[in-house]
Amino acid sequence: MSTGLRSRFERDGFVVLDAFVDPAACVELREHAMDLVGAFEPDDTCRSVFSTDEQTRTSDAYFLGSGDQVRYFFEPEAFDAQGHLRAPITDSINKIGHAQHDLDPTFGRFSRTEDLASVAEALGVGGHVLVQSMYIFKSARIGGEVNCHDDHTFLFTDPATCVGFWFAIDDATVDNGCLWAEPGGHRHPPRKRFRRSADGGTAFDVLDPDPYPSDGLVPLEAPRGTLVVLDGLLPHRSGPNRSDLPRHAYTLHAIDPRASYPADNWLQRPDLPLRGFRG
């Protein structure tokens, strides 16, 4: 199995593992995330909106300081013109990030299992460390689109080592915004890098002007409990959720600790050591 799994990963840039996580564990994580959001009381310092559009991507202090914290980010359509939430807060959050795998026991138990460590080893990345986690809500009717991108852009290492582990907490379908990926697209050289600017905020460096593909991506529909592993250079996206069903997902990103991790990468963890799949 290890040989076949790794060969598929190296060929396509992704693998889809059905029924990887017990659905009961997914439900437990979902309920915990909803409890956290239900208890969140945002003030003017933490009304950060998450967007994947390059012109509006947040670079505020709340976002940039989240690498070693557990913080909450709203959907772009969450607020009306007067700054009031259009829906209850539990239906308005885009994601929680970016260190709950290290700081929250429930997320920690989900993030570090023998099964996940075994898959990482089978793919040749067993020595990687977990650098980032995101719980993504993609709520019914207002769940935002995620434009085509690759994860190496945001977790840049030299050489490129980023690997994403995406868990379907709800059933993910074309109707409610499942992943789409370009088979073999990870062989393209890095296109962009997202970093901190010397004068504050963030910037994108264009490394290759070739645009991300608009065609040739395939849907990765995933029942609850599915694990999708993504090469960090693989172009992928997800559509908006205009359906009546939410599409919760949980992602972990890992990097090789031997690779160079630039000091101006947007995500920094000054107060948290990096740990692997087994802690």
DSSP track, 250-269: EEEEEE-TTSB--TTBS---
- Asked whether residue 197 carries a pLDDT value surpassing 80, the answer given is yes
Closest CA to 18 of 168, 238, 123, 177: 168
- Asked whether residue 190 carries a pLDDT value surpassing 50, the answer given is yes
CB atoms within 10 A of CB 18: 11
- The token pair at 258 is 């031997």
Mean pLDDT is lowest, of 56-65, 143-152, 173-182, for 56-65
pLDDT of residue 138: 94
2-276 architecture in CATH?
Sandwich (2.60)
Mean pLDDT is lowest, of 45-59, 66-80, 237-251, for 45-59
Query: Which residues, 6+ apart, have CB-to-CB distance to 58 below 8 Å?
Result: 48, 49, 50, 51, 73
CB atoms within 10 A of CB 67: 20
CB atoms within 10 A of CB 209: 7
Q: In whole angstroms, what is the distance from residue 171 CA to residue 244 CA?
A: 13
The separation between CA 185 and the C-alpha centre of its own chain, rounded to angstroms, equals 18
Report the percent of the chain where pLDDT is more than 90.
Answer: 79
Domains of the chain, by residue range, sit at 2-276
- Asked whether residue 77 carries a pLDDT value surpassing 50, the answer given is yes
Label residue 5 by pLDDT band (50, 70, 90). very high
